[in-house]
Chains A and B, each alone.
Chain A
Amino acid sequence: MQVSQELFRGAAPGIGLSEVAVSTKHKLSHLKVLEAESIYILREAVAEFARPVMLYSIGKDSSVMLRLAQKAFYPGKIPFPLLHVDTSYKFPEMIEFRDQYTKEIGAELIVHQNHEALAAGANPFALGTQKCCGQLKTKSLLDALGEGGFDAAFGGARRDEEKSRAKERIYSFRDAQGQWDPKNQRPELWNIFNSRIDKGESIRIFPLSNWTELDVWLYIHTENIPIVPLYFAKEREVVVRGGSIVVITSPNQLLPGEKTQRMSCRMRSLGCMPCTGAIRSYACTVPEIIEEMISFRRSERENRAIDHDEEGSMEMKKREGYF
């Protein structure tokens, strides 16, 4: 072992120890490194694409991404619009938060709904979650991107969320149909991104790729970022449906025979009301949420029906154009 200890003390090839030592003073915490990387990604995209847009889902990741965008272009305003794909099944608190917060920071907001499908009565009970998502989220998103002529769209997805996301590039190329081809991704080295596309094609850009759920919460805490109150525990009217806790905001959400009960709970991730389960919790502040999270042993997307329809379902949805 003597040899290896010797080598361990040595520096990398071609440099003296003193040069390595110099850099130790100027060190950033992992959160600051992530922040700098995300800001770099946002700026690259804005510099290189004609018409970028940010997918704004109102969730905690979107809130972080929005703050990073404010930072990236400060003292200028965010130089692109926000797009919310509204399925009409979002929690009222989300919509209220969305309208108030985007106004407060002076961001341009585009809200898009698939009116055709909604008029035809699209809902997760009649269609099943897969078809409903396909109509109200994926198709709606693709239509909105097409109508706006957007050639790049920022999304708040993280690679630690789901297995297929772990394989996705920061710049994720989509063909003219908005589809992802996981077996034919562009190599992505260093921090050099290939932004070249032909007309009709687009790039989905994920500035938070390297963040984890804990990073997001730590950042929300240290940066004092406003989030939707649904993330905080409170006594809420719920029903327990198929093993998940469903928050009920109006009586017509009840299925025949269901009865509500009151429970202290909160949302761990925000989606559509019928398909996003709550968790039992007493965490009323961000530190309490973080505390709960680290003692917590279940991953955050578990309560999202869409990922669990079949093995590899997120990959399937992404191939079709889902974020």
Chain B
Amino acid sequence: MAHAASAVESGAFELFLKQNLSKDLLRFTTAGSVDDGKSTLIGRLLHDSKAVYEDQLASIKKSRINRSTGPVDFSLLTDGLRAEREQGITIDVGYRYFATAKRKFIIADTPGHEQYTRNMATGASTADLAVILVDGTKGLLPQTLRHAYISSLLGIPSILAAINKMDLVDYSKERFLELEEEFFSLAEQLGIGNVQCIPVSALAGDNIIERSERTPWYSGPSLLEHLEAVPHAAAPRTKSFRFPVQYVVRPDANFRGFAGQVASGVVRLGDVVTALPSGRQSRIQSIVTYDGQLAEAFAPMSVTLQLEDEIDLSRGDMLVQQDSLPHVAKRCEATVVWMHAQPLSAGQNYLIKQTSRQVRGKITKIIHRVDIKSLEPEPAEQLQMNDIATVELETSRPLFFDAYRQNRTTGSFIIIDPLTNATLGAGMIQAPLPRSADRRSADPLPPVQSPESPVANIERYQRHGHYPAIYSTSQPALAKRLERQIFEEGFEAIVVDASQVSLLSARDSWAILYTAGFVVIYANPSLEPEERVELETVAGGRYFDLDTLNLSAEDADAARQVLLLAESLWTANERQEY
């Protein structure tokens, strides 16, 4: 068997290798149409950075079609589909690759014409930077606005405006400065912070790789220099640890690990993490990889985490930093890009896929559509393909999310048609919504202990000797009976009676007592479904609805039946119980 390692004697290769293994990766998207010279620009980058191999070039020269004015039509390098070459347009997002000594680049090349919004959004979703082509002879066009808007919408932190065709405006400094100013004011309107304008000629190669002598008045970087230097800022902005569980690795009875990719933040051995939706906490026992155990893992590493406690956790759940929880909600406000010929209608049933979680959901309301030409909001009953709108989303089970602006991974979702299986649209979550309009709270999680609390939940539980739980019942008499019985079994038990509380709301009362580690018996003869969901969200597997049992206040062993519902509330016994 031939093995792969045998170092070349000279140090040259080692140096080359070292350089190549320390490169980072920058993904960028290019927006514009053939007319703007976009494909020519990409072809130029690929060609001049020596990524175009001679035989590929030879086959283009052989091709029947040449829609450029130059001797080689660089756009044929990127338009990979037959229909694209024949019609002279870019139909779909194409991906291209090149590398320099400093970085490896992935270009998501998106069409400027047909279905521009859908394809631009797709290319932009993973990009760290957007290159927007501006035709120097035409100036900023409506599509420039669209491109910049979609880039900012999809959370691209940096924009590079390539003011192209400078050769056709005599490399005019005045023309460049004029367009630069226009572009800056556009970027400011859209709240895009990191903008660089560069005067280029893709056709003649000015300021693409090297700074051009034909623009001596320009002191900024060339396009490639900027691409090599731009900060790699598309990493999640939140530092909070988020780990959507993808898969449970369980090769035998002795190993149970949670496989996933760190979406944001860092996790270290011994860190306390909270599992969602159960809300239970545990510590990181080991960070397992094929290449050995690690002391820490950070985004975007793919690892397998083992916890100290055997808590219930599976695909679709999330491990998060205990003192910085994501939103847990069934309703949120989101911006949606619609991508299918079948229009979006409010109230229709869809599947929502967000991180590793897939739930049923619907758009309950189209708040407004964005007029892509003026960027003004306008009312809409339906959304058509390529429409962008702010909507209210409601899901059957809670999602765990951060605002898209803070975290692209936990803040994004796709919408799937449960009947045809088609991907219909994509969404970016802005904020959670209160569970219904008349409630004041925007966050269904209770005012749990503040992040600065010097006492960890687990410490409280250890002092009590048991975990908290919430039992709800429609029978206040049963609740009273249980309070005494469960207390006598050794638990800190207390009744919250919805008809008795006055100082705090019932919801606040059970939430606070649960946080403090009590076994809460919540008596409410008219429990609303929404509050039940909240109870589930807060207490997860530690919430039990006693109305599902046939219990009455007269039952002598009601407490025992009730306590059996939980696998174990005792902290000391827990590990043996499983």
Residue numbers of A with Cβ under 8 A of B are 1, 3-5, 7-8, 10-15, 19-20, 22-23, 26-37, 39-40, 43-44, 46-47, 70-77, 97, 100-101, 159-160, 162-167, 182-183, 185-192, 194, 196-198, 209-210, 212, 214-215, 218, 220-222, 224-229, 231-232, 284-288, 290-291, 294, 297-299, 302, 311-312, 315
Instruction: Sample 29 A-B pairs with CB under 8 A, ordered by A number.
Output: A4-B220, A7-B196, A13-B157, A13-B191, A13-B405, A14-B237, A31-B23, A33-B25, A36-B300, A37-B302, A39-B302, A43-B260, A44-B246, A71-B289, A73-B259, A75-B257, A159-B97, A162-B80, A186-B423, A191-B126, A192-B355, A212-B97, A218-B17, A221-B17, A226-B1, A284-B6, A287-B13, A288-B8, A297-B53
Give the CA-CA distance A227 to B384 in the complex, in Å.
50
Contact of A183 among B6, B91, B257, B426 (CB under 8 A): B91
Residues of B close to A4: CB separation below 8 A: 180, 184, 195-197, 220
CB pair A29–B21 under 8 Å, yes or no, is: yes
Q: Check B416–A73 contact: CB distance below 8 A.
A: no
Query: Which of A27, A75, A196, A311 meets B416, CB within 8 Å?
Result: A196
> Which one, B269-277, B406-414, B435-443, B555-563, is touching chain A?
B406-414
In the bound complex, do residue A29 and residue B95 qualify as a contact, i.e. CB atoms below 8 Å apart? no
Q: Is A101 touching B1 in the complex (CB atoms < 8 A)?
A: yes
Q: Which residues of A contact B194 (CB under 8 A)?
A: 7-8, 10-12
Closest residue to B339 on the A side, CB-wise?
Answer: A187
Give complex CA distance A151, B339 in Å: 25
Q: Are A298 and B55 in contact, CB atoms less than 8 angstroms apart?
A: yes
Q: How far is the CB of B255 from chain A (nearest CB, A)?
A: 6
| B106 close to chain A: CB less than 8 A | yes
Q: Say whether B390 faces chain A, with CB atoms less than 8 Å apart.
A: no
Residue of A nearest to B239 (CB): A22
Q: What 0/1 pattern do residues 101 to 126 of B give for CB contact below 8 A with A?
A: 00110100000000000110110011
Q: Which residues on the A side are within 8 Å of B53 (C-beta)?
A: 297-299, 302
Q: A14-B405, A189-B426, A302-B55 are in contact. Are A30 and B25 (CB under 8 A)?
A: yes
Question: Within the assembled complex, what's the spacing in Å between the Cα atoms of A11 and B237?
Answer: 11
Residue B380 CB within 8 A of the other chain: no
Interface centre among A27, A43, A222, A226 (most CB of B within 10 A): A43
A190 touches B158 (CB 8 A): no
Given contacts A15-B237, A197-B421, contact A187 B122 (CB under 8 A): yes
A220 to B2, CA, bound (A): 12
Instruction: From the candidates B95, B180, B409, name the one contacting A166 in the complex (CB within 8 A).
Output: B95
Complex Cα–Cα for A77 and B249 (A): 10
| Chain B positions 147-165 with a Cβ under 8 Å from a chain A Cβ | 152, 157-158
Interchain CB contact under 8 A, B125 and A189? yes
Minimum C-beta distance from A40 to chain B (A): 4
Q: Known contacts A3-B184, A10-B194, A12-B157: does B288 contact A46 (CB below 8 Å)?
A: no
Pick from A26, A29, A225, A299: contact of B4, CB under 8 Å: A225
- Cβ–Cβ contact B246 & A43, under 8 A: yes
Contact of A36 with B126 in the complex, beta carbons under 8 Å? no
Interface residues contributed by chain B, number (CB under 8 Å): 111
Contact partners of B461 in chain A: CB under 8 A: none
A72 touches B3 (CB 8 A): no
Most buried by B among A30, A229, A312: A30
- Distance in Å: Cβ of B66 to nearest Cβ of chain A: 13
Whether B81 and A315, one on each chain, are in contact in the complex, defined by CB atoms closer than 8 angstroms, is yes
Interface members, chain B 1-34 (any A CB < 8 Å)? 1-8, 13, 16-17, 20-25
A1-B176 Cα distance, complex, nearest whole Å: 10
Note all chain B residues with C-beta closer than 8 A to A73. Answer: 247, 249, 259
| A232 touches which of B2, B125, B152, B184 (Cβ 8 Å) | B2
Residues of A contacting B77 in the complex (Cβ-Cβ under 8 angstroms): 163
A75 to B22, CA, bound (A): 28
Closest 8 CB pairs of A and B: A12-B157, A163-B80, A76-B251, A196-B421, A30-B25, A39-B302, A285-B6, A299-B53
Cβ of B92 under 8 Å from chain A: yes
Q: Point out the residues of chain A lying under 8 angstroms from B121, CB to CB.
A: 187, 189
Contact status A194-B97, CB under 8 Å? no
B451 adjacent to chain A (CB < 8 Å): no
Complex CA gap A311/B58 in Å reads 12
When distances are taken between beta carbons in the complex, the residues of chain B under 8 Å from A221 are: 4-5, 17
Contact B6 A286 (CB under 8 A): yes
Q: Which residue of A has the minimal Cβ distance to B230? A: A8
Interface core residue of B219, B237, B351 (most chain A CB under 10 Å): B237
Report B-chain residues with C-beta under 8 Å of the C-beta of A224. 3-5
| A14 to B291 Cα, complex, angstroms | 37
Taking a contact as CB atoms closer than 8 A, the residue among B17, B80, B103, B299 that contacts A26 in the complex is: B299
Query: B220 contacts which chain A residues (CB < 8 A)?
Result: 1, 4-5
Least Cβ–Cβ distance between A86 and chain B, in angstroms: 20
B218 within 8 A of A: yes
Contact across chains for A192 and B412 when beta carbons are under 8 A apart: yes
Is there an interface contact between B95 and A159, defined as CB atoms closer than 8 Å?
yes
Q: A28-B301, A167-B80, A192-B413 are in contact. Are A187 and B426 (CB under 8 A)?
A: yes
CA–CA, A186 and B194, complex, Å: 32
Complex contacts, A7 vs chain B, CB 8 Å:
184, 187, 193-196
